[in-house]
Amino acid sequence: MLWTRTSRIKLAAIVLTVIINAFLLCACGSAKAESASDSRFAMNTYMTVIAYGDGAEGAVSAAFGEIARLEGILSVTDSGSEVAKINSSGGADAVSAEVDELLSLGQKLWRETDGALDITIYPALRLWGFTTGEYGVPSDEKLKETLYLTGAEKLRYSGGSLALPEGGMIDFGSLAKGYAADRVAALLQEKGIAHALLDLGGNIHAIGGKPDGSPWRVAVAAPGKGEEYLGYVDIYSGGVVTSGGYERYFEQAGEVYWHILDPKTGYPARSGLLSATVVGESGAECDGRSTALFVMGIERAIEYYRAVGGFDMVLVSDEGKVYVTEGLESTFVLLEDEMELVIVRRDGGP
């Protein structure tokens, strides 16, 4: 059968329309893998999990299930948790794998940081009201009494059995969110999720870069400046955790008292730092180290970095300088023009 001119035009027009429509539809949904995101209150903070890939929705739901499970073990305020039971009974004959891991990490970081991170500081935090919201500056005497109960060296932990000093308490508040990030990251990967971003109360943890292959761009807060950012770092995986005194603090008689205490004095750590950010593979270590670095101050933090390594950091001094370790030299971008950028090298060079 011969095609008439009209039918050829008709056919061409229809084919063209179908092609253009298909193109337009594809363009609308381009590069959009299955994705799911959810936000919830958990671990006394607000958390968001975003995942990309097949089964993303189920994986995000499982992530929050894991976070709730960990909270049930690690919460210091929930009287039914393992940690609360350990605190009320002065120890335990056997601890869970999670508590074991965190006790071991807490003790390791306590030794590495010369006591700047202390998982036994809870009685002092309580005295200041940081755990109850009833803030107040305690008397020197009361604080000294409380410091008799603190100090990770007083923990007796061997063969899975833990004994606390009388009146002593453990608290994984400086590690738990980072630890949860590690556990959730492992869970998501087990479920075949190759790309995800976790925001566990400001602790950022990345898995596998973005679905388009580019890195996640994580901003670092400018201490006390609301939505202004100090800078940003591009990462494919691991944690970016910041500690500072600019969010949780109270004022009394014109003086500011923040929630990160120097375990040696029991007073808020005043080390000359406004914030300390740690970038590394282990979320739990990033979490613990960011607190410790904030307590240590610039000189001790740099010494620690040079001695131990295995992580990178961004330290913001109260004198307008930003210290960034060499591993971040090519990925950290400073956005605050008035700050001076100083690159810290592992070998001590300029």
Partner 1 sequence: MRSTRFWVALVCIMLALSCAGAVYVYSMTGKGQFANIYQDGKCLYSIDLAAVEESYTIEIDGAFENIILVEKGQIGVSHATCPDKVCVRQGMISTSVAPVVCLPNKLTIVIETEARSGFDGLSH
Range in contact with partner 1 (rule: CB under 8 A) among 109-117, 131-139, 146-154, 168-176: 131-139
Range in contact with partner 1 (rule: CB under 8 A) among 92-100, 132-140, 155-163, 263-271: 132-140
Smallest distance from partner 1 to CB 40, Å: 8
45 binds partner 1 (CB under 8 A): yes
Smallest distance from partner 1 to CB 291, Å: 14
- Out of 1, 27, 97, 307, the only residue in the binding site for partner 1 (CB under 8 A) is 27
Closest CA to 261 of 135, 122, 92: 122
Q: In Å, what is the CA distance from 289 to each residue of 85, 111, 241, 276?
A: 27, 12, 9, 9
Q: Which is nearer to partner 1, 162 or 207 (CB)?
A: 207
Q: For residues 120 and 301, give the distance between their C-alpha atoms in angstroms, rounded to a whole number.
A: 21
- Out of 56, 241, 274, 295, the only residue in the binding site for partner 1 (CB under 8 A) is 241
Query: Cβ neighbours of residue 207 under 8 Å, at least 6 residues apart?
Result: 185, 188, 189, 193, 194, 195, 196, 197, 198, 237
Q: For residues 278 and 235, give the distance between their C-alpha atoms in angstroms, rounded to a whole number.
A: 12
Q: Which is nearer to partner 1, 167 or 224 (CB)?
A: 224
220 binds partner 1 (CB under 8 A): yes
- Out of 1, 2, 6, 254, the only residue in the binding site for partner 1 (CB under 8 A) is 6
- Count of residues binding partner 1 (CB under 8 A)? 48
Query: Cβ neighbours of residue 123 under 8 Å, at least 6 residues apart?
Result: 146, 149, 150, 167, 168, 169
- Out of 101, 143, 229, 339, the only residue in the binding site for partner 1 (CB under 8 A) is 229
Closest CA to 258 of 232, 276, 280: 276
Count helices and strands (H / E) in the chain: 8, 17
Q: For residues 288 and 334, give the distance between their C-alpha atoms in angstroms, rounded to a whole number.
A: 24
Range in contact with partner 1 (rule: CB under 8 A) among 104-112, 215-223, 297-305, 336-344: 215-223
Smallest distance from partner 1 to CB 347, Å: 27
254 binds partner 1 (CB under 8 A): no
Residues 74 and 98: beta-carbon distance below 8 Å: yes
Smallest distance from partner 1 to CB 69, Å: 20
- Out of 65, 136, 224, 310, the only residue in the binding site for partner 1 (CB under 8 A) is 224
- Out of 122, 128, 216, 258, the only residue in the binding site for partner 1 (CB under 8 A) is 216
- According to CB under 8 A, which residues from 172 to 211 bind partner 1? 197, 199, 202-204, 210
- Out of 34, 39, 69, 77, the only residue in the binding site for partner 1 (CB under 8 A) is 39
Count the helix, strand and coil residues of the chain and give each as a percent rounded to the nearest 5: 35, 25, 35
Joined tokens for residue 191: 């479920």
Residues 161 and 96: beta-carbon distance below 8 Å: no
Residues 235 and 197: beta-carbon distance below 8 Å: no
28 binds partner 1 (CB under 8 A): yes
List residues binding partner 1 (CB under 8 A).
6, 9-10, 13-14, 16-17, 20-21, 24, 27-28, 39-41, 44-46, 133-135, 197, 199, 202-204, 210, 216-221, 224-227, 229, 232, 240-242, 244, 246-248, 250, 277
